[in-house]
Amino acid sequence: MNKINDLFNEELKVINIGLESFYKDLKDQDIKTIHVKWRPTAGGNKKIASLLSKLK
pLDDT tens digits for range 8-29: 888 989 999 989 999 999 999 9
Determine the structural domain holding residue 12 and report its residue range. Answer: 2-53
Among candidates 56, 26, 53, 22, which has minimal Cα distance to 37?
Answer: 22
Q: What confidence tier does 31 reach under pLDDT thresholds 50, 70, 90? A: very high
39 φ/ψ sector (left φ>0, alpha ψ -120 to 50, else beta): beta
Under the banding of pLDDT at 50, 70 and 90, the label for residue 53 is very high
pTM score, whole prediction: 0.60
The answer to whether 10 and 29 have CB atoms below 8 angstroms apart is no
How confident is the model at residue 39, as a pLDDT?
86
How many domains does the chain contain in total?
1
